[in-house]
Structure 1
Amino acid sequence: MFQQQDKYWLVYAKATFIIAVIAMTISIIKLPGDLLIKGYYSICSLFLVSATITLSKAVRDNAESHRLINKIEEAKTAQILNDIGD
């Protein structure tokens, strides 16, 4: 059940990302102004996408490391309780 939901969530995330990139590209192309202004907004958009990906990866890595640390702590606690029980 959860794997199916994860699959749909991944498809949704990819689709929304692609739609957002296409919308931003079209809006920059249609933007009134010279090539210098369009180039500036293009670089800013690319930087924003890069920063968003980096931030989401950092948040995910932080959450995974906390989850791993909690599992290790639980294992240590269980081992101590087993040693005390024996």
Structure 2
Amino acid sequence: MTPQMPHTPAWKTFTYVSFLCAAAMLGAGIAFMPADIWIKGYMAMAAVFTIGTAFTLAKTLRDEHEASRLINKIEDAATERVLREAVPGRI
């Protein structure tokens, strides 16, 4: 398994800028929407909740992926140990 390369500063900047642009456009769209204030408030709450759950989902999926990589490493090490013991001369 290859180690994961760290993200470049340019990529990190791009992700922050794109997130801020998307959030600003969403906020402007809600603010300028021709609707009553309570509808705008509902839309804003839904947007904030959606953004929060997107972060939670991304973190959960990443954690699950990292855990499966660790489990695979453990299983691979156990398989190698069994093969080393069962097949003499195997490195």
Q: Above 0.5 in TM-score?
A: yes
**C-alpha displacement of 1:70:** 0.5
**C-alpha displacement of 1:66:** 0.9
CA–CA separation in structure 2 for the residues paired with 1:39 and 1:65: 39
Query: Hey, which of these two has a bigger chunk of helix by percent?
Result: 1
Residue 58 of structure 2 corresponds to: 56
Residue 43 of structure 1 corresponds to: 45
Instruction: Name which structure has the greater RCO, CA cutoff 8 Å, separation 6+.
Output: 1
Q: TM-score, normalised by structure 1?
A: 0.84
User: Which stretches of structure 1, 4 residues or longer, exceed 3 Å deviation after superposition?
Assistant: none
Q: Which runs of 5+ in 1 are unaligned?
A: none
Aligned-residue RMSD, C-alpha: 1.5
CA–CA separation in structure 2 for the residues paired with 1:64 and 1:58: 10
Pair 1:67-2:69 in alignment: yes
CA–CA separation in structure 1 for the residues paired with 2:75 and 2:11: 31
Q: Percent identity?
A: 33
Amino acid corresponding to residue 58 of structure 1 in structure 2: T
Q: TM-score, normalised by structure 2?
A: 0.80
Q: Which runs of 5+ in 2 are unaligned?
A: none
Number of residues of Structure 1 aligned to a counterpart in Structure 2: 83
